Structure 1
Amino acid sequence: MQRFFVTLLIIISMIFITVYFYSVPVIKKKVFEIERNSSAIALNSVFSLANKMYADTKKYRSQALESHKKRLRTVVDLADSFFDSAVAEARRNGLSEKQARQVAFEQLRSFKYGDNDYIWIADQHGILLSHPDPRYQGKDTATLHSQEGDSEVRAVIDLALRQGEGFYQYKWNRLDSEKPLDKVSFVKNFPDKGFVIGSGVYLDDLDADIEQIRNEALIELREGIRDIKIASTGYLFVFDASTNMLIHPNSNIAGKNFLKLTNPVTGNSIAEDLIQVADTGKELYYKWDRPDDPGNYSYEKLSLVRYLPGFDWYICSSVYVDELRSSAELLTERIITIAVIALFVALLLMLLFSQWITQPIKRLADTAVRVSEGELSAKSGIRRDDEVGLLAYTFDTMVERLRDSIKNLDSKVEQRTHALAEKNQQLIIASESMASAKEALAQSEQRQRQILDALPAQIAYLDTCLNILFVNRVFAETYHQDKASMINKPLQQAIGETCFNHIQWQLQSALRGQQTAGEYTEPLQQRQVICKRTLIPCFNPDNKVNGILILTFDITSEKDAERQLNEAQRMNAVGQMAGGLAHDFNNLLTIILGNLHSVGDRYSGDDQLQRYLEPAIRATRRGADITSRLLSFSRRQPLSPTLINIGQMLKDSLELLSSSLPDNITIRINNTPSELQPFADPGRLEDALVNLVFNARDAMPEGGEISFTTQSIAVQHRLIMDELVTPGNYCEICISDTGTGFSDQALQQCFEPFFTSKSNGAGSGLGLSMVYGFVKQSKGYISIQNAAHRGATITLLLPAKAAREERLNDHPGAQENTLKQEGKLVCLVEDDPDVRSVVRQQLIDLGFDVIDTHSAEEARRLIPLLPELHALVSDVMLPGNLNGIELADWLHQQHNRCRIILISGYSYQQSGDKPINPAFLLLSKPFGIAELKKAFHDSEKRYAGLD
C-alpha cells in the first residue's frame, strides 16, 4: 500500500509537472510575444502616419514657394503697367514728364498685397524712388547696411542691372519692425525707364504656414495615439532632437525637456539612451517608477524607438515588463493553484485507495492522459458522493478552469486585436484627412492655371529638349490648337517652321542660361500687331537650365499710345513757346497801336501823316490777327463756349463761303439730327471750318467737292485720334475733299505753326495750327487721313451735351445810358511799364482820373484808401502771389458796384482753373481807345441790367 501510495504520488506529481512544463511556458511565451508585437505594430503605424505627414508638408512647402515666386513676377509686371498708365494719365492732365513720374511713384508707395507685401523702385544709382516706409524713401541703398555690415539691397540692384531680372534672397525688416528677416525678392530692370522694380515675400510667412501644418499634424498625431494602450498602462510618446517632450500621457512630462532624467540601469540620460537605440530594432531596458508608486525607480520597462528625420522626432513605445508577463503569470498562478488542489486530492485518494479508489483513479488517470494530450473537454465521468467522486469532480473542475482560462486568454487577445483595429481605422481617417488637404492643394493649382489662362499674354513652358510641358489658353488659340494637344509636342511642330526659325536664337540663348527679349510684327485678323517675346531660362538647384519660359505680349496699343503721347508732348511744347511769344507780342502791339491812335487823334488834321499812320495801324491789326492765331494754336485764346446748332451753323457758313469759292467747287452737307449738340465757342468753330474749307479749295485747283458730315457718337471703348480719347459723348464733324491730299511730311508737321506746303511764301502756316489749338482748348480731338483714292478727310471730335432752348432776356424799351466818366477815378494795374503808360493815357483821354500800379498786392493795399473808386482795369497775368482775377474777385466782394475790366494777352484760363465772374468784362490785347471805350460802355450795360 505504501509502495503503491508512493508510486501514485510520483505519478500525480509527474502529471502535474508534465502539464505545467508542457503548457505554461508555451502560453507565457506566446502571450509575452503578442504583447510585444502589439507594441511594435502600434509604433510602426504611428511612425508611418507621421512620415506621410512630413512628406505632404515638404511637398506643400516647395509648391508654396514656387507659387509665391510666380506671384512676385506677376506683381512686378503689373506695377510696370500701372506706372505707364499713371504717367500717361498725369501727362494728359498737363503735368511734365518729371512730375508725372513722381505722381506714379507716390501712387505705387501705397500699393499693398498679400500679407502687407509691397512694391519698391530704385534708380540705376541705387536711390529709392518709391518705398512705403518713410525711413527709406529717397535714401541711397548703399547707405542701408545689414547687421553684418553688408549693403544687401544695393547688391541686389546691381545684380538686376547686370542680369536684367531674377530672384534674390537677403535679409530685410518688415514695415512695422526693425528685425531683419529672410526675404526672397523678384527684381527686374527697366533700362528704358531708368529704374528697377522689386517685390518680395518673407520666408517666415512661408515657414509660418509650414509650422502651422506641422502643428496641425502634431495635434492629429496626438489625437491618434492618445487612447492607444499597450498591455494595461503602456503608451506611445514623442520627443524631438532637443529632448523636448512633444506628446506624453503624463501631463507632468508633456511639453517639457527631460534631458536630465536619468536611467537607473545605466546612469545615463534616459533621452540619450532612447536616441541610441532608435531604428536599431533593439528595445531599451530601463527601470522607472509606476503611477501608483512614484519616485521608486525599480520597475522594469521596455521601449522601442523610431526616428523621423523630416520632423526630427523620436517616436517611442513604453510598457512595463511585468505587465507583459501579467497574463502569463496569472495563468501560471491558476495552474499552480489547481496543482496544489490536485495534490491535496491525490493524498486523500491515496488514503482511500486501499478500499475502493483504484478504479476511479484509473479513470482519472485516463482522463489526465487525455487532458495532457490537449483534449481539454475531457471529463472523468465519476459521479459519487464520496471522496473519489469529489476528487473526480475536482479534477474535472480543474480541467474546466484550465479551459476557461485559455478561453479567457483568447478573448483578451481578441479584444486587444479589436482595439488595435479601431486605432488603425483612426489612422486611416487621419490619412484620408491628409488626402483632402492634398486635393485642396490640387484645386489651388487649378486656380493658378485659370489665372494664367485669363492673362492677356502667350505663356508656354518647355523642357531642355524643346518639348512643350505647359501652355495657356492664349498661346493655344494663337496657333489655332487646343491646350491638351500641344502638351509633350515639340515646339517646332506646334508653332511651325517659320516661327520656330525666328526664335531659334532666343532658344539657344535660353539654353545657355541667358534671358532674351525681342519685338516682332505679325499679321492678325487683317492687321499688323506688334508683339514682345521674352524667353526666361529656369534653373534646377544645381544652377543648370532645366526649362524655358516663353512670355509673349501684344504691345501694339502701347506702341500707338507712346507715339501719340510723344506727338502730343511735342505739340504742347511748341504751343507753350508760341503762346509765350504771342503774349509778349500782344503787349508790344498794344503799345504800338495805342501810340499810333494817340498820334492819329492828336494830329488828325495832318493828312500826310495820316497816310503814313493808316498802313502802320493796318499792319498792327494784321500782327494782332497773327498772334490771335498763335494763341488759338497754343490753346490760350479767350473762348465763350455754348451749345451750337451745328446744322444751322453749316448752312450759314455755306452762304458765307459761296461767294468766295470758284464755280467748279461744290459743297455737300450731310447732317444727322441729334439731341446732342457740340459745346464750343461758335465764332472760333466757324473760323476753324472756314480755314479748313479754304485749305480744301487750295488742294483742288481744278475743282471738286467738299463734303461736311456730322453725327453724334458715344465713345465707350478705346479710340485713338491725335491722342487717346476720353470716354463720353461727342459731336463728330468730318470735312472731306477730292483734292491732292497731304504729303507724308505734311501729315507729320501739319499742325506746327508757320508750316506750309504752299510755294512762293503763300499762306501764313497758321490755319491748321489755329484749328488744332481751338479743338484742344475745347477739350476735343482731331485727326487727318488721306482718302484711299484721292483727297483727304479731317475729323473733329468736340464735346457734346443735350440740346436745350435758351431764351434771351430782351429789353426793347431800354435806352443806353450816356457814359458819364468825367472826373471818375479808375485804378489801372499793369506790370509792363510801356503798356501801363499807353493805357493810362487812353483812360485820361476818355476823361477818367487814373491811379496806376504794377502789382495786385500794391493795388490791394491802395484800393481801401480810394472810397470813390469807379472802376478797376487790371491785367490778368501779374507778378507775385495774386493775379488779376483774384484781385477782381476780392474787389467785387468789397465793393460790388465797382466796374471791373480785365485785359489779357491770352486766355484767362491760364491763370487758374477758377472760372471768371460773369460780372467782369474781358478785353483782349492789343486794343485801341475805341475798344477800351466800348468795354466801359458794355460794363455800364451789365451793371445797369441791360444784358
Structure 2
Amino acid sequence: MQRFFITLLLIISMIFVTVYFYSVPMIKQKVFDIERNASGIALNSVFSLANKMYADTEKYRAQALESHKKRLQTVVGLAGSFFGSSLQQAMDRGMSEPQARQYVLEQLRNFKYGDNDYIWVADYNGILISHPDPRYQGQDTADIRHNDGTSEVHEVINRALKQGEGFYQYPWNRFDSQKPLDKISFVKNYPQWGFVIGSGVYLDDLDEDIQQLRQEALKELREGIQEIKIASTGYLYIFDAKTKMLIHPNANIAGSNFPELINPVTGNAIAKDLIQVADTGKELYYKWDRPDDPGNYQYEKLSLVRYLPGFDWYICSSVYVDELRSSAELLAERIITIAAIALFVALLLMLLFSQWISQPIKRLADTAVRVSKGDLSAQTGIQRDDEVGVLAHAFDTMVERLRDSIHNLDSKVTERTQALADKNQQLVRASESMHLAQEALTQSEQRQRQILDALPAQIAYLDSQFNTLFVNQLLADLYQQNKASMINKAFADVIGAAQFTQLSWQLQAALRGQTTVGEYSEHYQQHPMICKRTLIPCFNQNEEVNGILMLTLDITSEKNAERQLNEAQRMNAVGQMAGGLAHDFNNLLTIILGNLHSVGDRYADDDQLQHYLEPAIRATRRGADITSRLLSFARRQPLSPMLIDLEQLLSNTIELLASSLPDKITIQHHNHTLEWWPFADPGRLEDALVNLAFNARNAMPHGGTLSFTTQHITVTKHLMLDEPVQPGEYCQIRISDSGSGFSDQALEQCFEPFFTSKTNGAGSGLGLSMVYGFVKQSQGYINIQNNADQGASITLLLPAQKASEAAPTPPQQSDSEPPLLDDQRKLICLVEDDPDVRSLVRQQLIELGFDVIDTHSGDEAQRLIPLLPSIYGLVSDVMLPGDLNGIELANWLYQQNSHCRIILISGYSYPKSKERPINPAFSLLHKPFDLAALKKEFQDSEKR
C-alpha cells in the first residue's frame, strides 16, 4: 500500500509538474509577448500618424509659399500696369507729369489686399516715394537700420536695380509694431519711370499657420496618447532633440527639460540612452521609480524609441517589466494554487485509495491527461459526497478556473485590440482633418482664380514655348472659347495666326526679359475695340525667362473720350476766338453805323449821297447779323429760357415753312411730348428749326420729305451725342430729310463757323454753328448722322420739365410810346474805353438832348459821379479797363441812386443768368446800334 501510495504520489506529482511545465510557461510567455507587442503597435501607430502630419504640414507650407510668390508677382505687375495707364490718363486730363506721378503714387498708397498687405515704391536713390505707413513715407531706406546696424531694404533695392526683379527676404516691422519680422518681397525695377515697385508677405503669417497646424497635431496626439495604456501603468511620451518633454501623461513632467536625469543601469543620461536606441528595433532596459515609490530607482522598465526627423521628435513607449509579467504571474499563481490544492486533496485521497478511490482517481487521471492536451472542457463526471467526489469537484473547478482565466485573458486581449482600433479611428479622423486643410488651400487657390476672372482685364500666362498655361474668363469670352480647352494649347491657335503675328514682336521682347506695351485694334461681337497689351516676362531661379504674363485692357472708351475731349476743346477754342472777333467787330460796326447815320441825317437832302449811304448801312447791318451768329456759336447770345409748348411752336414753325419751302417738299411732324416741355428760348429754338429746315431744303433739290419727330426721354445711363449726356429728363427733337445727306468732310466740320458745303460762295457757313451754340448754351446736346437708307437726321436734346410747372404768361405791356424828352437838359455819364465809340455815343446823346460827361474807365467814373450835382443816367460799356467793370459800376450807382437810368452797352451779349447777373432795372443795348435804338432804350427805361 505504501509503495502504491508512493507510486500514486509520484504519478500525481508528475501530473502536476507536467501540467505546470507544459502549459504555464507557454501561457506566461504568450501573455508577456502580447503585452510587449501591444506597446510596439501603439508606438508605431502614433509614429505613423505624426510622420503623416509632418508630411502634410510641409506640403502645405511649400504650396502656400509658392502661392504667395505668384500672387506677389501678379500684384506688382498689376501695380505697374495701373501706374502706367493712370499716369497717362492723368496727363491727358491736363496734369503735368510730376503732378500726375504724385497723384498716382497717392492712389497706390491706399491700395490694400490680402491680410492688410500693401504696395510700396522707392526711387533709385532708395527714397520711399509711396508707402502706406506714415513712418516711412518719404524716408531714405539707407537710414532705416535694424539693431545690428544693417540697412537690408536699401540693399534689396540696389539688388533689384541690378537684377531687374526678384524675390528677397529681409526683416521689416508691421504697421502696429516696432519689432522686425522676416518678410519675403517681390521687387521689380521700372526704368521707364525711375523707381522700383515691391510688395511682400510676412513669413510669420505663414509660420503661424504651420505652427497652428503643428499645435493642433500635437493636441490630437496628446489626447490620443493619454488614452493609450500599456499593461497597467505603461504609457507613451514624446520629447524633442533639446530634451524638452512635449507630451507626457504626468502633468508635472510635460513641458519640462530632463537633460540631467541619469539611467541607473548605464550611468548615462536617460535622454542620451533613449536617443541611441531610436529606430534600432531594440528596447532600452533601465531602472526607474514608481509613482507610488518615488525616488527609488530600482524598478525595471523597457522603452521602444522612434525618431521623427521632420518634427525632430523622439516618440517612446514606457512599461514596467513586472507589469508585463503580472498577468502571466497571476495566472501561474492561480495554477500553482489550484495544483497545491489538488496535491493536498490527492494526499488525502491516497489514504482512501485502497478502499474505493482507485477508479475515481483513474478517471481523474484521464481527465488530467485531456486537460494536459489542451481540452479544458474535460470534466471528471464524479458525483460523490465523499472525498473522491470533493477531489473530482476540485479538479473540475480547477479546470473551470483555468478555462475562465484563459477566457479572461482572451477578453483582455480583445479589449486591447478594440482600444487600438479606436485609436486607429482617431488617427483616421486626424488624417481627415489634414485633408480638410488641403481642401481649404485648394479653395483659396480657387478664390484667387475667381478674382482674376473678375478683373476688368484679359489675363493669360504663357510658357517660354508660347503654350497657354492660364487664361481668365474675360479672355476666354473674347475669343468665344472654353477656358479648359485653351489650357496647354499653342497661343497662336487661341488668338489666331494674324493676331499672333502682330503680337510676335512683344513675345520676342518678353523672351529677352523686356516688359513691353502695345496697342491693337480688334473686333469683339462685330464691334471695333482698341486694346492695350502689356507683356511681362517671368524668371526662374537662374534668371531665365520661363513664362510670360499678358495683361490686356480695353481702352476703347478712353480713346473715344480722348477724341471727344479734343473735339470739344477745339470747338471751345474756336468759340472763344469767334466771340473775341465779334466783340471787336461790333465796336467797329458801332462806329461805322453811327457815323453813316450821322452823315445821312446831316445830308438828308443829298439824294446822290443817300444812294451810296443806304448800301453801306445795309452792309453794316449784315455785318451785325454775322457777329450775332458768331456770338450764338460762342454761346454768348442773350437767351430768355422758359418752358415751351412744343406742339404750338412746331405748328407755328411748320406754318411759316409751308409758305417758304417748295411744294414738292412734304412736311410731317409727330409730337410725343405733351406732358414734358423743353426749357429753352422759344425764339432761338424756332430760328434753329428754320435753319435746319432750309439746310434740308438745299439737300432735296428735287423734292422729298421733311420730318419733325419729338419725344420725351429719361437718361439714366451712358448716352453719347456730341459728348456724354448727363442723366436727367430731356425732350428729343429729330429733324430728318430724304435728301443727299452729309459728306464725310461735312460730318467732321459741320459745326465750325464759316464752313459751308455750298459752291460759288453761297452761304455764310454760320447756320449750323448758330444752332450748335444755341443748343450748348441751353445745356443741351446735338448729333448729326446720315440715315441708313437715304438722307440725314439731326437730333437735338434739350432739358425738359413737366408742363404743369410752366409759369403763367406775364401781361403784355402797353405799346404806347412815352412822351419825348422834355426841354430840361439832363446830365448823362458816359463810360467807354474805345475813344472812337465814346465820341460817337457822346454825339448821339447830345442829339437826344442830354448833357454828357464822359470817361474811359469805371474806376474814374466812380470817383467822378459823387462830384456831379445831379445825374440823370449812366451809359456804360460792360468791358472796361481797371478793377471795376460796367456791371459792377452800374450796381454801385444803383445803390447810390435807384432812380438813375442805367443803360449798359457791349459787343458781347450778357444773358441774365447766375454766372453774370444783371439787375432787371438795367437796359442792355448790343453793339452796333444807332440813334433810334439808343432813344428807344431811354424810352423803355421811362416805362420801368
**What range is the shorter-chain TM-score in?**
0.7 to 0.9
In structure 2, the partner of 1:643 is: 643
1:583-626 residue CA offsets vs partner (Å, 9 max, x unmatched):
xx748966995899699999986889999999999999777766
In structure 2, the partner of 1:402 is: 402
Q: In the comparison of the two structures, how many residue pairs are matched?
A: 929
CA distance in 2, matches of 1:267, 1:637: 113
CA distance in 1, matches of 2:347, 2:642: 138
Structure 1 residue 273 displacement after superposition: 5.0
CA distance in 2, matches of 1:370, 1:587: 142
> In the alignment, does 2:811 pair up with 1:810?
yes
In structure 1, the partner of 2:426 is: 426
Residues 513-912 of structure 1 aligned to structure 2 (within 5 Å): 518-532=518-532, 554-572=554-572, 575=575, 581=580, 586=583, 593=590, 632-635=632-635, 639-653=639-653, 666=665, 668-674=667-673, 675-689=675-689, 692=692, 708-736=708-736, 744=744, 746-752=746-752, 767-786=767-786, 792-804=792-804, 805-810=806-811
Contact (CA 8 Å) 2:640, 2:680: kept in 1 or not? yes
Structure 1 residue 908 displacement after superposition: 7.4
Structure 1 residue 413 displacement after superposition: 0.9
In structure 1, the partner of 2:44 is: 44
CA distance in 2, matches of 1:60, 1:839: 95
Counterparts in 2 of 1:19 and 1:332: CA distance versus 1, 3 Å: same
Counterparts in 2 of 1:564 and 1:356: CA distance versus 1, 3 Å: same
Structure 1 residue 51 displacement after superposition: 4.0
Contact (CA 8 Å) 1:591, 1:838: kept in 2 or not? no
Structure 1 residue 450 displacement after superposition: 5.8
Give the one of 132, 149, 154 matched to 2:151.
149
CA distance in 2, matches of 1:798, 1:96: 36
More off after superposition, 870-879 vs 921-930: 870-879
Contact (CA 8 Å) 2:144, 2:151: kept in 1 or not? yes
Contact (CA 8 Å) 2:128, 2:141: kept in 1 or not? no
Opposite residue 320 of structure 1, the aligned amino acid is Y
Opposite residue 38 of structure 2, the aligned amino acid is S
Counterparts in 2 of 1:119 and 1:513: CA distance versus 1, 3 Å: closer
More off after superposition, 585-594 vs 285-294: 585-594
TM-score (norm 2): 0.75
Counterparts in 2 of 1:700 and 1:467: CA distance versus 1, 3 Å: same
Residues 142-181 of structure 1 aligned to structure 2 (within 5 Å): 145=144, 147=146, 148-151=150-153, 155=157, 173-179=173-179, 181=181
Counterparts in 2 of 1:387 and 1:223: CA distance versus 1, 3 Å: same
1:880-932 residue CA offsets vs partner (Å, 9 max, x unmatched):
99999999999999999999998887687999x77858867684775779878
More off after superposition, 597-606 vs 478-487: 597-606
Opposite residue 798 of structure 1, the aligned amino acid is L
Aligned CA-pair RMSD: 6.2
Counterparts in 2 of 1:783 and 1:514: CA distance versus 1, 3 Å: same
More off after superposition, 495-504 vs 715-724: 495-504
Residues 366-385 of structure 1 aligned to structure 2 (within 5 Å): 366-380=366-380
Opposite residue 151 of structure 2, the aligned amino acid is G
Report SS of the residue matched to 1:407.
helix
Contact (CA 8 Å) 1:826, 1:851: kept in 2 or not? no
CA distance in 1, matches of 2:751, 2:309: 77
1:371-392 residue CA offsets vs partner (Å, 9 max, x unmatched):
3333333445566666665555
Counterparts in 2 of 1:908 and 1:199: CA distance versus 1, 3 Å: farther
CA distance in 1, matches of 2:251, 2:739: 100
Opposite residue 644 of structure 1, the aligned amino acid is I
In structure 1, the partner of 2:322 is: 322
Contact (CA 8 Å) 2:639, 2:911: kept in 1 or not? no
Residues 281-300 of structure 1 aligned to structure 2 (within 5 Å): 281-300=281-300
Structure 1 residue 395 displacement after superposition: 4.2
> In the alignment, does 2:32 pair up with 1:32?
yes
1:767-826 residue CA offsets vs partner (Å, 9 max, x unmatched):
544444443343333334456687654433333333334312326689999999999999
In structure 2, the partner of 1:23 is: 23
Report SS of the residue matched to 2:724.
coil
Report SS of the residue matched to 2:371.
helix
Opposite residue 799 of structure 1, the aligned amino acid is P
Structure 1 residue 298 displacement after superposition: 4.4
1:388-412 residue CA offsets vs partner (Å, 9 max, x unmatched):
6555554444333333222211111
Opposite residue 155 of structure 1, the aligned amino acid is I
CA distance in 2, matches of 1:110, 1:882: 47
Report SS of the residue matched to 1:33.
helix
Contact (CA 8 Å) 2:277, 2:284: kept in 1 or not? yes
Opposite residue 400 of structure 1, the aligned amino acid is E
Report SS of the residue matched to 1:291.
coil
Report SS of the residue matched to 1:325.
helix
Counterparts in 2 of 1:447 and 1:111: CA distance versus 1, 3 Å: closer
Counterparts in 2 of 1:12 and 1:757: CA distance versus 1, 3 Å: same
Counterparts in 2 of 1:836 and 1:381: CA distance versus 1, 3 Å: farther
Counterparts in 2 of 1:811 and 1:472: CA distance versus 1, 3 Å: closer
In structure 2, the partner of 1:230 is: 230
CA distance in 2, matches of 1:720, 1:731: 15
More off after superposition, 242-251 vs 869-878: 869-878
Counterparts in 2 of 1:363 and 1:529: CA distance versus 1, 3 Å: same
The percentage of aligned residue pairs carrying the same residue is: 67
Report SS of the residue matched to 1:807.
coil
Contact (CA 8 Å) 2:458, 2:474: kept in 1 or not? yes
Larger Rg: 2
Contact (CA 8 Å) 2:593, 2:620: kept in 1 or not? no
Structure 1 residue 716 displacement after superposition: 4.7
Counterparts in 2 of 1:19 and 1:124: CA distance versus 1, 3 Å: same
CA distance in 1, matches of 2:250, 2:470: 53
Counterparts in 2 of 1:245 and 1:154: CA distance versus 1, 3 Å: closer
Opposite residue 25 of structure 1, the aligned amino acid is P
Structure 1 residue 937 displacement after superposition: 7.5
More off after superposition, 152-161 vs 223-232: 152-161
CA distance in 1, matches of 2:129, 2:14: 102
Contact (CA 8 Å) 1:173, 1:179: kept in 2 or not? yes
CA distance in 1, matches of 2:371, 2:718: 103
Report SS of the residue matched to 2:672.
coil
Counterparts in 2 of 1:630 and 1:72: CA distance versus 1, 3 Å: farther
Structure 1 residue 747 displacement after superposition: 4.3
Opposite residue 149 of structure 1, the aligned amino acid is S
CA distance in 2, matches of 1:818, 1:295: 136
CA distance in 2, matches of 1:813, 1:761: 45
Contact (CA 8 Å) 1:152, 1:170: kept in 2 or not? no
Counterparts in 2 of 1:3 and 1:800: CA distance versus 1, 3 Å: same
Counterparts in 2 of 1:463 and 1:931: CA distance versus 1, 3 Å: same
Residues 421-570 of structure 1 aligned to structure 2 (within 5 Å): 421-439=421-439, 482=482, 518-532=518-532, 554-570=554-570
Contact (CA 8 Å) 1:829, 1:855: kept in 2 or not? no
Residues 339-418 of structure 1 aligned to structure 2 (within 5 Å): 339-342=339-342, 344-345=344-345, 364-380=364-380, 391-418=391-418
CA distance in 2, matches of 1:875, 1:298: 123
Contact (CA 8 Å) 1:596, 1:613: kept in 2 or not? no
Structure 1 residue 418 displacement after superposition: 1.5
> In the alignment, does 2:367 pair up with 1:333?
no
CA distance in 2, matches of 1:430, 1:314: 20
Structure 1 residue 225 displacement after superposition: 3.9
Counterparts in 2 of 1:129 and 1:852: CA distance versus 1, 3 Å: farther
Structure 1 residue 564 displacement after superposition: 2.6
Contact (CA 8 Å) 1:587, 1:926: kept in 2 or not? no
Counterparts in 2 of 1:86 and 1:489: CA distance versus 1, 3 Å: closer
CA distance in 1, matches of 2:920, 2:394: 134
